[in-house]
Each structure stands twice: as C-alpha cells, then as structure tokens.
Amino acid sequence: MPVYALYWLSRGFVNRAYWDRFGQRFGFGYPEIESGSIWIHAVSVGEVQAAVPLIRALMRRYPERTMLVTTVTPTGAARVATVFGDSVRHSYIPFETPNAVRSFFAATKPDIALIMETEIWPNLYHACGARGIPLVLVSARISPKSVDRYRKLLPLFRETLSYGIVIAAQSETDAERFLSLGAPPERTRVTGNIKFDIELDPDLAARGRALREDMLGSRPVWVAASTHNREEELVLAAHRRIRETHSDTLLVLVPRHPERFDAVRQLLEREQLPWIARTDGRPAAPDTAVLLGDTMGEVPLFYSAADVAFVGGTLVPVGGHNLLEPAALGRPVVTGPHLFNTQEIADLFRRMGALELVHDDVELASAVTALLDDEAKAARMGEAGRRIVLDNRGALARLLDLVAPLVPEKRVTGTA
C-alpha cells in the first residue's frame, strides 16, 4: 500500500486529477447509498464509453435503483460526469486492502456488480461472494498474453473465479480461455461484445461537419487517436511523408492519456511542424500541419470530422483500442499490428475489408495516402465497417436477459 500511495501521489504531480478523492483508493469518502445499488465498474475512458448503453438500459429497466459507477482513472471519472451528470453516483474503486473493501461495501451497498471486460480484483470479488452479491464479468475477454500471465497465478485465479462469478464472454474463444483457467462451465456464457451496441450522439455527424468547416477547412484530414509514447513519433514521420505529395493534409493527433498532452506539445515543437491545439480555440491556418486534440471526450467528434482514422496503441505493443467508434461513423480504419486487446474484432474487420494493417511509419503513410487518393475505396471500407457494427448488435439485449434473474427484489429499509 505505501508503494501504491506513492505511485498515485507522484502521478498527481503531473495530473492533479489523480489527487481527486484520493481517500477513496484506501477506504475513505465513498458515496453513502441507502440500499440496493447496481454497481458497474469500468476502468477508464474506453470501458466507460462501452458501458454507456448498458448503464442507460439499466437505468430504464430499474429506475428505483441507484446506479454506482466506479473507475480507476480520473479520465474515466470525467467521462462518467460528462455523460451522466448527477444521474449516477461515481466512486473510485478501492485498492485491495481489507479496510478499504469493507468500507466500500458498507457505504455503497450493491445488490449486484457488473465488471466491464476483465478487471480481476480478488479481494473485491471474494467480498461479493461472502455477501452473496451476484457478480457478472461483462463482455469478458482474455488475450493469449493474459492467459499465460494468469496461469502463473492459477490457484489465485481459480479461487477468484469460484466466488459465484457469471462470465458473459465476448466470444467462444474467450469462454474457452476462461474455462481453461478454472471458470465454472455452468456460469460461463457467450453473450458477445456490447461495444457493438455503441450509441452515437444523434447530432454527431452534424457537429463533425461543423468542426470541419469552422476549424479544419476543406483540406484532407486524417486522425490518429488514442496514441501512446513512441507512437506519436511514428505518426508524425508518416505525416511528413504524406505531406510530401499532399502538402495541405492536416493531422488531428489525439494522445490516449491527458497527462501526456504536455509531452506531445514538446514533441511537436521539436519536430518543428506548424501546429495548434484544440484548446487554442482558433481555426487551423492554411499552413497548419497538426491539430493536437488536447481535450477529453472528443475522439468521436474528431473521427466524424476526418476522412481516415488511425487507431493507436497498435504501432507499439499496447494492444489496440476501440475500432468500432470510427467504423460506426463509416470511416476507413488503419491500425498497426499490435491488436491483441481487440484481436477478434480486428480479424473480422480484415476479413470484411474494413481495416488496413500497417507495420511502420512508411506503410502508414502509404495506406493513408492511398485512402485519401481513392475516395471510392475509402467509402467501401467505411461502409464495410459500419455494416459490421450493425450486423453484430444484440449483445446488450443478451446481457440484460442474463442479468435480470440475478437482480434481487429491491429491499425496503426503514419502517412504515
């Protein structure tokens, strides 16, 4: 715990948001909920965004319940606040100390827990089992890399999975990986990936057009979103190559983590590319080469305004991020080879001709240039991706059917 505390404190020197409600990490200051909350945990921005349709569906189905959303990162917390305001309660998830876990459950009183994807918290899960609280892993997945890691801790992992957890796996492959680690077959189901049930703002397309007209102009635009350290250098090298033949092309560069905005600003200064930041509030000049997306929650807007989308975390071994957002908007998608966090979706996209896979800055420049030059190809790829999203919807409905029998009758407190 001292190590965790020092780590979180040190991150706060870079991003003060990490000091927000610091005590909640260690057992203090949780929201007091009268009884019977529905608890949804989503680690960060991507998981929160994927959980939005689920949370809204639960709010409609169980209007008498308090929705509690926990995150690990302050960026996830900010996204919860932006989307839901005061209609849900938010807390940071407690670290795995007995006091913090006890305090969390005493304050929030969940009747059921829904954990997005594969967040493994053994003490929290044990606490759910000890209290008879149903726990569902939503759109659960395990990458091949994670399977090898979990096997090294197999006794702990098997014990964690023994606490009555229901696993709603993304795919048959994910279900088989959970079973190989000791998950009970009778509580392992394949419901699909609720990310396909993505909800886009109805006015997103109109706002994207307005952003393009007001800030970007009538030039070719590509976006590199959710990028990571050492990946921005490759993206900027590709952009230089693109501008050798398409000198008016604009790159919208959106780092994954806001604490890295300053580092990327410094990189742009070193690269001596004309750039502006989204927070500058002024339109790109004719010679502007890069718009730095230094805001939170606007990645879908940037996708909507662009001609081509590169999804980051893929030219470096991070494992990739959400391919479905740009696809749902009909944008052609380009990624690097490191896709282990989203491998099955990426494979489907490639089979259906909705994804260009590149390995370095040279191939990235070539792929983006080709799509900017061939509008018909870009449209075909974009439509293929949009069709994949539409054809794979339904996981949310299957998940809600799975969850319904697990939600107990609302307990009534107090006296008449």
Task: Indicate whether 87 and 227 sit together in one domain.
Answer: no
Task: Indicate whether 12 and 112 sit together in one domain.
Answer: yes
CA–CA distance, 106 with 88 (Å, rounded to integer) = 18
CA–CA distance, 412 with 185 (Å, rounded to integer) = 34
Exactly one of 32, 34, 47, 269 is catalytic; name it: 47
Task: Indicate whether 270 and 137 sit together in one domain.
Answer: no
Could you tell me if residue 265 is inside a domain? yes
Question: Longest C-alpha distance within the chain, in Å?
Answer: 77
**Given phi > 0 = left and psi -120 to 50 = alpha, else beta, which region is 192?**
left
Could you tell me if residue 413 is inside a domain? no
Find the helix or strand (DSSP H, E) in which 40 lies: strand 37-41
Task: Indicate whether 212 and 183 sit together in one domain.
Answer: no
CA–CA distance, 237 with 262 (Å, rounded to integer) = 19
The count of structural domains within the chain is: 2
Could you tell me if residue 335 is inside a domain? yes
Could you tell me if residue 200 is inside a domain? no
What CATH number did the domain enclosing 285 receive?
3.40.50.2000
Could you tell me if residue 411 is inside a domain? no
Task: Indicate whether 57 and 87 sit together in one domain.
Answer: yes
Task: Indicate whether 281 and 179 sit together in one domain.
Answer: no
Distances in Å between the Cα of 168 and the Cα atoms of 162, 395, 404, 413 are 15, 10, 13, 32
Distances in Å between the Cα of 282 and the Cα atoms of 126, 215, 291, 323, 406 are 52, 7, 10, 29, 51
Could you tell me if residue 414 is inside a domain? no
- Exposed/middle/buried for residue 313 (C-beta within 10 Å: 0-12, 13-18, 19+): buried
CA–CA distance, 365 with 22 (Å, rounded to integer) = 43
Task: Indicate whether 400 and 387 sit together in one domain.
Answer: no
CA–CA distance, 224 with 45 (Å, rounded to integer) = 17
CA–CA distance, 373 with 344 (Å, rounded to integer) = 29
Task: Indicate whether 88 and 218 sit together in one domain.
Answer: no
Task: Indicate whether 163 and 214 sit together in one domain.
Answer: no
Residue 181 makes CB contacts below 8 A (sequence gap 6+) with: 142, 147, 150, 151, 154, 157, 158, 161
Task: Indicate whether 183 and 56 sit together in one domain.
Answer: yes
Active site annotation includes 47: yes
Task: Indicate whether 159 and 41 sit together in one domain.
Answer: yes
Task: Indicate whether 259 and 401 sit together in one domain.
Answer: no
Find the helix or strand (DSSP H, E) in which 151 lies: helix 144-152
pLDDT for res 296? 85
What CATH number did the domain enclosing 9 receive?
3.40.50.11720
Could you tell me if residue 127 is inside a domain? yes
pLDDT in tens, the chain (416 residues): 677 777 767 777 777 777 688 889 888 999 999 888 999 999 888 889 889 999 999 999 999 999 999 999 888 898 899 999 999 999 999 988 889 999 999 999 999 999 998 777 888 888 998 899 999 999 998 877 778 777 777 777 777 777 788 999 998 989 999 898 888 899 999 999 998 998 888 899 999 999 999 999 999 999 999 999 999 999 999 999 999 999 999 999 999 988 899 999 999 999 999 999 999 999 999 999 999 999 988 999 999 999 999 999 999 999 999 999 999 999 999 999 999 888 889 999 999 999 999 999 999 999 999 999 999 999 999 999 999 999 999 999 999 999 999 998 766 544 33
Could you tell me if residue 128 is inside a domain? yes
**By C-alpha distance, which of 124, 126, 131 is closest to 100?**
124
Find the helix or strand (DSSP H, E) in which 155 lies: helix 154-161
**By C-alpha distance, which of 307, 243, 245 is closest to 273?**
243
- Following DSSP, what letter does each residue of 116-134 receive, concatenated? ES----HHHHHHHHHHT--
Domain holding 402, by residue range, is 2-192+394-406
Q: Name the DSSP class of 37.
A: E
